[in-house]
Amino acid sequence: MSTIVLLAVTGLGLAALYFLVASGLSLVFGLADVLNFAHGLFLSVGAYATWWAADFMPVEAAVLVGVAAGVATAVLVELILIRPLYRRTIEQVLVTVGLSLAGVALLQSVFGADPRPFPRPTWVEGVVPVFGARIPADRFLLIGAALLVFVALAAFLRYTRYGLIVRAGVENREMVTALGIDVRKAFTLVFAIGGAAAALAGSLAGIYFTTVSPGTGGSLLIFAFIVVVIGGMGSVPGSAVAAILVALLQQFVNYYGGSGAGDVCVVALLAVVLLWRPKGLAKA
């Protein structure tokens, strides 16, 4: 029983990471049709900025520096690299691919290829007993952060004018443009949101895995892609549900079925969802 609880909570912690990466990816894709391979780079930039800043300030504040760095990177990438290629989807993907290759190499040259120990706030070091299981406290930090982001995103999309534009733009971009609204401002906005969520995920991944390396972003990105496709592109709740599904499946099967089996199961789930609902869970 305690094993099951531990696996479930750890799985939810992983789900939190997947959701933070996937929600931005999904919004960017849903609105701007950009498959953003550089999203993993935003994550790594956030993680390394936090790692760097933690020398001068408490970790909690350093995470904010990381998020700011992630937002700045994302906005710069959108304005300088993505915007000139507006409506040329393939070229945009190619640019983000080049950026992810060059960006990881750049991080490697600055911080070295080896994993660096990541600073952790002292209050996540302990364990919390839940139903007889001893759960490391950092799992709850991850889950809490993802819940907060989920609620904030949902409120933003539901109650603000820009949220309305983003939702309408995902639904039908031409129509929003025809109404005289400059959708491209919303593109920058979703990139900024995605960059913030990804950078937060980077810091949390550093706390969760206890180290940070230039490849961290890339390895999380692939599962985030899977979450986005299963959840339905452009849907934040879809990403949330898919993230939980994918992470729990992965945790449990990896534990009971041998290491690696869970990852394979996740891809099998993707195949099943595609055959059954090609547009993802959110879109019937």
Partner 1 sequence: MRRWLPWGLALVLALLPFGQAFNAPGTLNLLALCLVFAGLAAGYDLLFGRTGLLSFGHALYFAIGAYLTVILMNHGFALPVAALLAILSGVVVAALLGAVALRVDGIAFSMVTLAFAQVGAIIVARDPGGLTGGEEGATIAKGMPDALVGVVNTVNLYWLALAYLVVVLVVLHRVGRSPAGRVLSAIRDDARRVGVLGLSPYRYKLMSFVLAGALAALGGTVYVLVVGGASPHLASSDLTLTLLVMVVLGGPGSRFGPALGGALFTFLDYQLTDYATDLPGPLAQPMFVLGVVFILAVYFFPGGLARIGVTLPGWLRRPARQEA
Q: Going by C-beta distance under 8 Å and a sequence separation of 6 or more, which residues neighbour residue 157?
A: 163, 164, 166, 167, 236
In angstroms, give the least distance from the CB of 241 to partner 1. Answer: 18
Nearer to partner 1, 203 or 235 (CB): 235
Our finding on whether 91 is near partner 1 (CB under 8 A) is: yes
Tokens of 139: 């799992």
Residues in contact with partner 1, shown as a per-residue x/- string from 95 to 134 under the rule CB under 8 A: x-xxxxxxxxxx-xxx------------------------
Residues in contact with partner 1, shown as a per-residue x/- string from 189 to 228 under the rule CB under 8 A: -----------------------------x---x--xx-x
Contacts with partner 1: how many residues (CB under 8 A)? 43
| Contact stretch for partner 1 (CB under 8 A) within 28-36, 54-62, 134-142, 144-152 | 28-36
Our finding on whether 19 is near partner 1 (CB under 8 A) is: no
Determine the distance from the C-alpha atom of residue 166 to the mean position of all C-alpha atoms in its chain, rounded to a whole number. 18
Nearer to partner 1, 89 or 160 (CB): 89
How would you class 284 by CB atoms within 10 Å of its CB: exposed for 0-12, middle for 13-18, buried for 19 or more? Answer: exposed
The label of the residue with tokens 């929003």 reads 176
Q: Which of 92, 81, 96 is nearest to 221 (CA)?
A: 96
Nearer to partner 1, 100 or 235 (CB): 100
Nearer to partner 1, 60 or 171 (CB): 171
Our finding on whether 94 is near partner 1 (CB under 8 A) is: yes
Our finding on whether 260 is near partner 1 (CB under 8 A) is: yes
Nearer to partner 1, 155 or 264 (CB): 264
Q: Which of 24, 27, 279, 21 is nearest to 167 (CA)?
A: 27
The alpha carbon dihedral of 26, 27, 32, 37 has a sign of: negative
Determine the distance from the C-alpha atom of residue 262 to the mean position of all C-alpha atoms in its chain, rounded to a whole number. 20
Nearer to partner 1, 159 or 276 (CB): 276
The angle subtended at Cα 20 by Cα 103 and Cα 56, nearest 5°, is 65
In angstroms, give the least distance from the CB of 279 to partner 1. Answer: 8
Strand ranges (E), 76-194? 116-117, 127-130, 133-136
